[in-house]
Amino acid sequence: MTAALRFDPIRLPEKCEQLRKEVRAFLAEEIAAGTFDPHKPNREDTDVPEFSRKVGAKGWLGMTWPKKYGGQERSFLERYVVTEEMRVANAPTRRFFVADRQSGPVLLKYAPEHIKMDILPRICRGEICFAIGMSEPNSGSDLFAAKTRATKTDGGYLINGTKIWTSSAHIADYMIAIFRTSPPTKENRRHGLTQFLVKMKQPGIKVNPIGQITGQYEFNEVVFTDFFVPDDHVLGEVDGAWKQATSELAYERSGPERFLETYYVLTELVRAVGPNPDTRSAEGIGRLVAQLHTMRRMSVSVAGMLQAGKEPVVEASIVKDIGTVWEQQLPHRVRDLAAFVEETATNRETLERQLDFAIKTAPKLTIQGGTTEVLRGIIARGLGLR
Amino acid sequence: MAESDNIVVETAEKIFADLADPQTINNDKKASWQAPLWQALSEAGLPLSWVPEDLGGSGASLADGFALLNAAGRFAVAVPLAETMLAGWLLAQAKIASPEGEMTVLPASPKDRISVDADGALTGRCRGVPFAKSAKHFAVLAHGKNGVSIALVDASKARTESGLNVGYDHSDTVTLDKVQPVTIKAAPDGVDQTNLMLMGGVARSLQIAGALESMLDISVRYSNERVAFEKKISKFQAVQHNLARLAGESAAALAAATSAADAIANAGSFDDEVYLEAAAAKIRCAEAAEKGGGIAHQVHGAIGFTIEHILHRYSLRALAWRDDFGSESYWAVELGKLVARRGADELWPLVASR
């Protein structure tokens, strides 16, 4: 076979099911206490610091990390369960999600020991928020065209330039960003970029909010003017960020957040059609559930590969490609099926409000975190076409 | 699923490679390959994989049998291997020994029903029965006053009208008119027509997934050979993205089918979780057969539309397999009803049950 794509049927171990019960009980308590409303994915107050600290206190942040950095040394499958339960409940994870999924693992791998000891335990306690500084005004999918400069100076670097579409930069305590330390070479246009840890909320950084078509202000423009970053904040090899980027992608691209972003409209549709749906609604729901189930099984399978120490980059890209296309179509299919829902359905207003938001959210899903086009390029490379 | 340490799959793949090479059998207009292939499979005990040794079979596990069906799909095998396996499995549920030779199961559609009268005679009409024409015996699931029965029927006692499915394999109409079975026994608890359809549906899902794996393989290979506009067509981004989508469909089909097989192989009963797995597999694999097969043809262009090319052996069979043991539309309606009956707040717990 040209492409030995494997998605072995992983079954979650018993301890995951115990954990799932704990997470559900915790979320039910928080909902009852009014910390968040599971029916409102478009909540204005997406930053809920006390919720982050409670999740941290439960030991559900940095779960897979070494204990000496505040982690729990638990498995990726356990982390998976926590992530999917939070996502399905529409819990306010914004403040900790990026740090837990992405920034923490980068620091674990590339940061000097004293920085790990300083920052990782604070992530685990849910105290700090991270942003990712990748895109620039003229560099989006073409990551290696980044121009924001890091110029060597005494004891560190001076940063000048602009990052854009940076989610949560307005609340973030830190950013992990790539800056240009050298020009690209003729042989390797990816050469010359370096990964840095940046402490936010300092002079020399200006964060300008950017409005989104959903009406929210989640992403930002971040302008650096002679901003100083000390030497020990370099993450990994100078000029060699391109070598470090790829292995993280499997973590970033295969999680439950890649097909559950609009899941809530499916739940509300099922509620609206009631226990005896007509044939049209039943078939529509059945097909959507079949897709959902398949993607989750694929996603769990990738989590199992990660747990086994593999780097399933192609499989993860397939999960994100199929998953994001599906979650993008989901609100439109639900809208089709909801067209004949009785006027008297008790949750009609909730469904309509959710659809309004999900339909506006949909376009970003196949863009953020690696566009469909980029993903298909990676899959094609895995197939031996490039 | 093709684990190299799976002796059943290894044996089957060797037989398929020797006696069912797709190009060779595609060139053979008289189908003279069928008898030697069936003989070799039978000698290896593969058609009766799911029959315990004391009932005349080879007593392989459910998991090994499912892996074998996936391998059969990769070769688009056009002999009643899956059908005989399912028939043997059904008979074994009632401790009925399997005879030698080709078998198939009745009914092969959730809409058809066979009844059994007080004398144990069977009556009913079943459409779309795969390979009924070449079957020596039928394994029959019938409904009577005392519940569900399982019977072994001599195929010559039934009236079989020939038909072909979209993949040119036999898909026949079988009519039983007060036919006395060779053997008939009460079905054990938990074996009913729905569960037979779920088993058949998972078998077909694994075959479709296997066919898609092969379609991806030959499409990638072809795109790396075929030159157009002075370069290999694999270098065109539009072609690359189509093949990436085919890889996604193939992967989704494989994941859904192997997950369902694993669920059945490890479950004590056909509960809601198994129902979700099996129904979802059939729905998702059928959708993948359409989308993935379409891309494989698009990549091949006109050559893939010729009867001389092997692509249709996979693409048409995958489409045909959608219809057996309940189409994706049927299962989607049933799955949708199940989800609605359980209620909105029970959807996620069902999906996240494994």
How far is CA A101 from each of CA A20, A80, A251, B207, B223, rounded to the nearest angstrom?
A: 18, 10, 7, 37, 37
Predicted local distance difference test score (pLDDT) of residue B3: 46
Cα separation, A79 vs B264, in Å, equals 27
Helix, strand and coil content of chain A, in percent to the nearest 5, comes to: 50, 15, 35
Closest CB from A263, A284, A380 relative to B243? A380
**B329 contacts on A by Cβ (under 8 Å):** 283
Choose the mutation target among B337, B342, B350 for the interface with A, i.e. most A CBs under 10 Å: B337
pLDDT band at A3 (very low <50, low <70, confident <90, very high): low
- For β-strands A149-153 and B137-144, DSSP reports them as unpaired
The pLDDT value recorded for residue A46 is: 64
From the list A117, A107, A83, the residue with the least C-alpha distance to A175 is A107
Task: With cut-offs at 50, 70 and 90, classify the pLDDT of residue A251.
Answer: confident
- Residue B16 pLDDT > 90, yes or no? yes
For residue range B260-309, what is the model confidence (pLDDT) as tens digits?
Answer: 999 999 998 899 999 999 999 999 999 999 999 999 999 999 999 999 99
* A57 part of contact set with chain B, CB < 8 Å: no
A57 has pLDDT over 80: yes
Q: Is A22 within 8 Å of B238 (Cβ atoms)?
A: no
- ipTM metric: 0.96
Chain B nearest C-alpha distance from A3 (Å) = 7
Please list every residue in chain A whose beta carbon sits closer than 8 Å to the beta carbon of residue B354.
11-12, 297, 300
pLDDT on residue A248: 67
Model pLDDT for residues B145-204, shown as the tens digit of each residue: 999 999 999 999 999 999 999 999 999 999 999 999 999 999 999 999 999 999 999 999
Best of B62, B223, B339, B353 to mutate (most A CBs within 10 Å, chain A)? B339
DSSP 8-state code for residue B97: P
- Which residues between 359 and 378 in chain A have a beta carbon less than 8 angstroms from any beta carbon of chain B? 373, 375-377
CA atoms within 13 A on the CB side of B189: 3
**Band of residue A1 on the pLDDT scale cut at 50, 70, 90:** very low
| β partners of residue A228 | A158
Give residue A250's pLDDT: 72
pLDDT at B255: 97
Q: In whole angstroms, give the CA distance from residue A216 to residue A145.
A: 28
Question: What percent of chain B lies above the pLDDT cut of 70?
Answer: 99
Chain B residue closest in CA terms to A317:
B248
**Cβ–Cβ contact B261 with A under 8 A:** yes
Judge whether residue B27 has pLDDT over 80: yes
State the DSSP code for A383: T
Pairing of strands A205-210, A156-164: unpaired
Residue B1 has pLDDT above 50, yes or no: no
Q: Given B235, B237, B255, which is nearest A297 (Cβ)? A: B255
From B218's Cα to the closest Cα of chain A, the distance in A is: 8
For chain B, give the mean pLDDT.
96
pLDDT of residue A235: 97
Interface list for A 328-347 with B (CB within 8 A): none
Residue from the list B234, B252, B287 with its beta carbon closest to the beta carbon of A298 = B252
- CB-based contacts of A218: which residues, under 8 Å, 6+ apart? A46, A94, A167, A168, A212
Instruction: Label residue A282 exposed, middle or buried (CB < 10 Å: 0-12, 13-18, 19+).
Output: buried
With an 8 Å Cβ cutoff, are A279 and B224 in contact?
no
On whether any CB of chain B is under 8 Å from the CB of A20, the answer is yes
Q: A84: which residues sit within 8 A by CB, 6+ positions away? A: A256, A260, A296, B352
Give A125-149 pLDDT, tens digit per residue: 999 999 999 999 998 888 889 999 9
Average pLDDT over residues A73-89: 96
- Interface with chain A: mutation pick from B214, B273, B276, B354, highest number of A CBs within 10 Å: B354
Average pLDDT over residues B105-116: 98
Minimum mean pLDDT range among A113-117, A196-200, A241-245, A281-285:
A241-245
C-beta of residue B131 within 8 angstroms of C-beta of residue B146: no
pLDDT tens string A286-318: 999 999 999 999 999 999 998 998 889 899 999
Place of tokens 């890889």: B247
Q: Is it the case that residue B2 has pLDDT exceeding 60?
A: no
The per-residue pLDDT for range B309-338, each reduced to its tens digit, is: 999 999 999 999 999 999 999 999 999 999
pLDDT at position A41: 83
Q: Rounded to the nearest 5 degrees, what angle is found at the Cα of B92, between the Cα atoms of B89 and B97?
A: 120
